[in-house]
Amino acid sequence: ADTVETSFHVRNLTTNRLCQNQVIPAANDSIPGPALTVKEGDTVIVHVFNESPYNLTIHWHGVFQRLTQWADGPEFVTQCPISPGGNYTYRFNLTGQEGTLWWHAHSQWLRATVYGSLIIRPRDGQNYPFSQPDLEDTIMLGEWWNADPNDVENAALANGSAPAAADAYTINGWPGDLFNSCISNNTYKLDVVPGQTLLLRIINAALNTQFFFKIANHNLTVVAVDASYTNPFQTDVVLVGPGQTTDVLVTANQSPGLYYMAAHPYASAVVVPFNTNTTTAILAYPNATQTTPILPDLPAFNDTPTAFTFSSNLTALVTSRFWSAVPQIVDENMFITFGLGLSSCGANQTCGGLFRERMSASMNNRSFVLPTGISLLEAFYRNVSGVYTEDFPDQPPSVFDYTNMNNSFDPNLLMTPKSTSLKRLRFNSTVQIVLQNTALLGVENHPMHLHGFNFYVLAQGFGNYDPANDTSRFNLINPQERNTLGVPVGGWAVIRFRANNPGVWFIHCHLEVHLPWGLGTAFLVENGGTPESTLPPPPADFPQC
């Protein structure tokens, strides 16, 4: 195994999109930022220099960070931010993980432009569990605002409302020529040779948008999601939520021509505004005679049946050398409701509405608040009291009303109290969570992301989770493994994982706007009692608040 060492300089970049210049923070002056391509087992060292005017952290989305949790990155969860002018070196190892992951800023809305891919190929002497593709490429889906995204977020938080929709969606940083014809805008183009097989790694780096993705006239075979191999799954459309990745094989078996690769939103509910544009890139055969690429027919924005068919039919490839069997005995069983709600307007805020409210979100009827002077991880490691409580999930008596899919405008249910309430887990315990969407302010598909682990997706469904009937639907044989799961709109999912990774692990909705609204919590995983299961002290350059 090798050591891959590199530097990220994050600083303001002036760049042109949608016919106008924008000053925006970017890593190494590019959007997306640098692609990290490594092999399973490698060690990664990234020196991050914050030359931007904002506080910054970088998160390595999907990396387990076993015993390197000081490098996980979420602001105030594992670390204090790197202040402007500061730097911090992230070091971690990629043993036992293979496939497509990515990295992104985990501070305010910086990840709108500070993100890139993290591709982990098989180590020397190992192969993919499918025939070797002729060609590999990465498609990163994103969003673009004619504004600094931090300003968009701050404006929404200031008036308690939903943020402005993105002005465009992007593929590898560009909106594409279908939507936008500015001379300065490049449409991403991928050249293929007839007969070749392409491994396409699709990453959704958008803040607030889930996407349907298609390639005109080409079938897709899904072989991995979130850096976990799946049984080959044939489809013509992929659903990818923020944070998720999907690897597909594509055979260039169509008549030589130009074909759009296109994405537009899956908007399960219009709680977060979205626009209806389609972002495109071009799959180009040599000697194509036509000038206008063929456009695929994308599903409707609210096509939940198509979204659910895709998400619920994936299964794990149990012959993969990274597979381990689902633990059958559960030690911790949690039932967690989550969704959107309201919180009351602060005394000196100007916001109106029925209850003088602001948009809010919650898990278990609690709206999560991050600490400010210290990270949760440092407080846990050093036993600092007064930073968080350990009463999650405490299931207030009204909790079962939340699962009623009739919208309720009872202010007692809608208005969620704020707290920093966490859950302690014994090392190596098996944890099962029923994630139940609520329907108070309208229902939505929430992409729930767990740091530090992959989890098994045992079952998903619509309506209220019913233990009497739904446990019989659990897939305990070959459930897909993920780090981010879109819990069905107006529905539920059951996940299971082994808490074999000591530290403080964030679980939150990866629709970025839901994070400051409070849709998250964290698990405190105790040390295991051996050196191999004990978190070492933070590195010398660990940022202080």
Q: What are phi and psi of 436, to 5 degrees?
A: -110, 115
For ligand C2O, the closer CB: 204 or 436: 204
For ligand C2O, the closer CB: 90 or 506: 506
Q: Does 514 bind ligand C2O (CB under 6 A)?
A: no
For ligand C2O, the closer CB: 179 or 506: 506
Q: Does 60 bind ligand C2O (CB under 6 A)?
A: no
Nearest partner of 151 among 94, 99, 112, judged by Cα = 112
Residue with tokens 């042109």: 16
- Half-sphere exposure of residue 223: CA atoms within 13 angstroms, side-chain side: 22
Instruction: Report in angstroms how near the CB of residue 206 gets to ligand C2O at its nearest.
Output: 11
Q: Does 506 bind ligand C2O (CB under 6 A)?
A: yes
> In this structure, is the dihedral angle defined by the CA atoms of residues 54, 60, 65 and 68, taken in order, positive or negative?
negative
Instruction: Report in angstroms how near the CB of residue 74 gets to ligand C2O at its nearest.
Output: 5
How do beta strands 332-344 and 430-437 pair? Answer: parallel
Residue with tokens 């739904």: 470
Q: What are phi and psi of 91, to 5 degrees?
A: -125, 130
Q: For ligand C2O, how many residues bind (rule: CB under 6 A)?
A: 11
Instruction: Report in angstroms how near the CB of residue 500 gets to ligand C2O at its nearest.
Output: 20
For ligand C2O, the closer CB: 307 or 450: 450
Instruction: Report in angstroms how near the CB of residue 201 gets to ligand C2O at its nearest.
Output: 16
Q: Which residues of 17-33 are buried (b: 16+ CB within 10 A; e: fewer)?
A: bbeeebebbbbbeebbb
* Residues with Cβ within 8 Å of residue 481, at least 6 apart in sequence: 226, 228, 316, 454, 455, 456, 457
- What residues form DSSP beta bridges with 362? 339
Instruction: Report in angstroms how near the CB of residue 475 gets to ligand C2O at its nearest.
Output: 25
Q: Does 241 bind ligand C2O (CB under 6 A)?
A: no
Stretch in the footprint of ligand C2O (CB under 6 A) among 150-158, 167-175, 196-204, 504-512: 504-512
For ligand C2O, the closer CB: 104 or 218: 104
Q: Does 106 bind ligand C2O (CB under 6 A)?
A: yes
Tokens (6 digits) for 515:
């994070």
Instruction: Report in angstroms how near the CB of residue 392 gets to ligand C2O at its nearest.
Output: 17
Q: Does 218 bind ligand C2O (CB under 6 A)?
A: no
Instruction: Report in angstroms how near the CB of residue 514 gets to ligand C2O at its nearest.
Output: 11
Contacting residue, 17, 26, 61, 519, with ligand C2O by CB under 6 A: 61
For ligand C2O, the closer CB: 402 or 506: 506
Torsion of CA 132, 136, 141, 147, to 10 degrees: 160
> In this structure, is the dihedral angle defined by the CA atoms of residues 188, 216, 205 and 156, taken in order, positive or negative?
positive
CA distance 341 to 414: 5
Strands of 219-319, DSSP E: 220-225, 228-235, 238-240, 245-251, 258-266, 279-284
For ligand C2O, the closer CB: 272 or 317: 272
Cβ neighbourhood burial of 312 (10 Å; 0-12, 13-18, 19+): middle
For ligand C2O, the closer CB: 218 or 508: 508
Stretch in the footprint of ligand C2O (CB under 6 A) among 80-88, 163-171, 272-280, 503-511: 503-511
Contacting residue, 66, 104, 218, 423, with ligand C2O by CB under 6 A: 104
Is there a contact between 84 and 53 (Cβ–Cβ < 8 Å)?
A: yes
Instruction: Report in angstroms how near the CB of residue 89 gets to ligand C2O at its nearest.
Output: 20
Q: How far does Cα 420 stand from its chain's mean position? A: 22
Q: Does 74 bind ligand C2O (CB under 6 A)?
A: yes
Residue nearest to ligand C2O (CB): 61
Instruction: Report in angstroms how near the CB of residue 247 gets to ligand C2O at its nearest.
Output: 18
Tokens (6 digits) for 33:
């930022």
Nearest partner of 368 among 358, 360, 357, judged by Cα = 360
Please state, in angstroms and as integers, the Cα–Cα distance from residue 328 to each residue in 335, 469, 497, following that order: 18, 18, 11
Contacting residue, 358, 482, 508, 514, with ligand C2O by CB under 6 A: 508
Instruction: Report in angstroms how near the CB of residue 90 gets to ligand C2O at its nearest.
Output: 14
Report the 3 state secondary structure along 346-382. CCCCCCCCCCCEEEEEEECCEEECCCCCCCHHHHHHC
Instruction: Report in angstroms how near the CB of residue 246 gets to ligand C2O at its nearest.
Output: 15
For ligand C2O, the closer CB: 61 or 218: 61
Chain residues 436-455 in contact with ligand C2O, contact rule CB under 6 A = 449, 451
Is there a contact between 36 and 4 (Cβ–Cβ < 8 Å)?
A: yes
Q: How far does Cα 205 stand from its chain's mean position? A: 7
Instruction: Report in angstroms how near the CB of residue 449 gets to ligand C2O at its nearest.
Output: 5
* Residues with Cβ within 8 Å of residue 324, at least 6 apart in sequence: none
For ligand C2O, the closer CB: 357 or 512: 512
Q: Does 243 bind ligand C2O (CB under 6 A)?
A: yes
Stretch in the footprint of ligand C2O (CB under 6 A) among 47-55, 273-281, 440-448, 502-510: 502-510
Tokens (6 digits) for 292:
């206008």
For ligand C2O, the closer CB: 105 or 249: 105
Q: Does 490 bind ligand C2O (CB under 6 A)?
A: no
Q: Which residues bind ligand C2O (CB under 6 A)?
A: 59, 61, 74, 104, 106, 243, 449, 451, 506, 508, 510
